[in-house]
Amino acid sequence: MSGGSDTPSSRRPRIIDDRAKDEDPNRKTIRPRQKGSALTADLAGKQEVQGSMSGDRYVRIVRMHGDDFAQAGPGHLVASMEALEADGSVSRGISKAKRVLIGAPLANADSSHERLTKVKALAVLSSDALSSVAYATEEILRVLLIAVGLSALHVSLPIGGAIIALLVIVGISYRQTIKAYPHGGGSYIVAKDNLGAGPALTAGAALLTDYVLTVAVSIAAAVAAVTSAFPELQTHRVLLGVGFILLVTVLNLRGIRESGSIFSIPTYLFLAGIFVMLAVGFVRNALDGFAVQDPPPAAAHLAGNGALTLFVILKAFSSGCAALTGVEAISDGVPAFKPPEWKNARTTLTVMISILTVTFAGITFLAHQFGTYPMEANSSDYETVISQIARHTFGGGNVGYYFIQFVTMAILVLAANTAYSDFPRLAYFLARDKYMPRQYTLRGDRLAYSTGILTLGLLSGTVLAIYQGEVEHLIPLYALGVFTSFTISQFAMFTRWQKRREPGWQMGRII
């Protein structure tokens, strides 16, 4: 080589490994300084590039053909799969095991193909909210029964109506949030934009905690569905729960598109089964003249003898608001949709709220009509409220009953995927703003935020083990995180309407 005042290193082309780039939209690929003829990076051949300084002569660049690089486009080389293989027999063995477990690496250029359709998004981002009907009604009944007694169980109907009204209001509000924040409008982002760092970090902390509890509660409820059908597994609750968490963690490490495909089937089977159960149960109750059955005598030993105070009603209301969990997931996951992202997200949110309203209302109504009650979790004959409704509806332990139990277990296991979608994404935002370690900003081989996924799996497994997999002990912590993040997010949107006076701000402020 020969040249002018530039050193050779200043004119050397940079080879960029495309998979090593993170999501920062402001980051630019570094190109060599040049003047005159353009540089075309090829795997083999000769190019002449004129230096950028006065007096520079042309420099001839000769590349030898090799297997370390592949051409991704004009002037753009990426590291080949062979170049990325680990050195050493032990490292190669670990790498091969990793490939079998989570699949071959994907390039960042493939990320656009990992977007979700509305059908898949309803399964991936709504499974938590849709599956919460499996335990929300039960928690309302548990508070009323233990605090007051059998005579108060009828209050579950007006409490359920109030929760449905709140659900619709929150759903409409998040439709506005999605439109206002088309690149993702979780509580942290909205609060930071309108209220500042302090409220944003409070919302972020509440959400991170809530996502951990989402996994623990969903998995614990899934195990309860299994033990309702097979009581002999009751003593293995924790082991089953940890196994389910491990399964969902591995599935998410494989990447969002594969998890979306896998999770769609159980979600839609659950919805089909629940709608059939509600329809058959409603018809059977109608044929009986909408008679209300009394709970069995076994419920009497759990009944309390307190007064039906406002505090008891509010306690039952807050426990039943577990039905609202996961509503925010769609607004936080707008970037995961296929274009036009925000419109597809709003449509999916509307469908989810509609389904959730019908299923929650139907289960609460049938639970009241059939005289179901929340059983003691440690009892040998334990059954969930959904299990009791299914037995009444289908006339015992037949194919219909076991189908409901199976799909309920499946969607509750996969409901944890909502948290696996949003916990890593929220951790990315916090790490980007330097509130968490930068490792949470990096994508793994399958374009998933592996550090966030592994952290969530570890924390949720620990929480589930500490509380012995019992849903009723986790719900109070769960409700706290939900209400904290919702309240901060809604107040932040109210502040936005007040300050910016954007189109529709008057109605937005009322909502």
Mean pLDDT of 474-479: 84
Per mean pLDDT, which range of 128-142, 330-344, 403-417, 436-450 is the poorest? 436-450
**For the stretch 222-239, what's the b/e string if a residue is b when 16 or more beta carbons lie within 10 angstroms of its beta carbon?**
bbbbbbbbeeeebeebbe
Question: Under DSSP, is residue 65 helix (H, G, I), strand (E, B) or coil?
Answer: coil
Give 302's DSSP letter: G
Indicate whether 89 pLDDT > 70.
no
User: What's the chain's average pLDDT?
Assistant: 82
> In whole angstroms, what is the distance from residue 421 CA to residue 332 CA?
9
**pLDDT for the residue 300:** 87
Poorest-pLDDT segment among 67-71, 115-119, 372-376, 478-482: 67-71
Sign of CA dihedral 351, 416, 248, 82: positive
Average pLDDT of the segment spanning 382-397: 93
**Strand ranges, E, within 51-129:** 58-63, 69-73, 76-79
CA-closest candidate to residue 413, choices 248, 232, 199, 252: 248
Closest alpha carbon to 332 in 108, 121, 480:
121
pLDDT at residue 43 tops 60 = no
pLDDT of residue 24: 46
Written as six digits, the tokens of 313 are 């009603």
> For residue 49, what is the enclosing H or E element?
strand 45-50
Structure tokens at 157: 């109907």
Confidence check: pLDDT of 42 > 70: no
Q: How far apart are CA 340 and CA 356, in angstroms?
A: 24
What is the model's pLDDT at position 192?
Answer: 94
Closest listed residue to residue 153, CA positions, set 348, 258, 299? 299
CA proximity to 29, closest of 69, 77, 66, 82 = 77
Nearest Cα to 404, choosing from 247, 280, 234? 280
pLDDT in the model for residue 149: 93
Residues 6+ apart with CB under 8 A from 287: none
Distance CA 244, CA 236 (A): 12
Q: Please, are residues 267 and 123 in contact by the beta-carbon 8 Å criterion?
A: yes
Structural tokens at position 160:
């359920």
For residue 241, give every residue at least 6 positions away whose Cβ sits within 8 Å of its Cβ, in sequence order, or none: 216, 219, 220, 222, 223, 461, 464, 465, 469
pLDDT band at 14 (very low <50, low <70, confident <90, very high): very low
The answer on pLDDT for 25 being more than 50 is no
Q: What percent of the chain has pLDDT over 70?
A: 75
**Candidate from 87-101, 250-264, 373-387 with smallest mean pLDDT:** 87-101
Give the pLDDT of residue 447: 55
pTM of the model: 0.77
Answer yes or no: is pLDDT of 76 > 90: no
Angle (CA) 265-462-186 rounded to 5° is 60
The confidence score (pLDDT) of residue 330 equals: 87
Q: CA 471 to CA 200: how far, in whole Å?
A: 29
Residue 393's pLDDT band, with cuts at 50, 70 and 90, is very high
* pLDDT reported for residue 9: 44
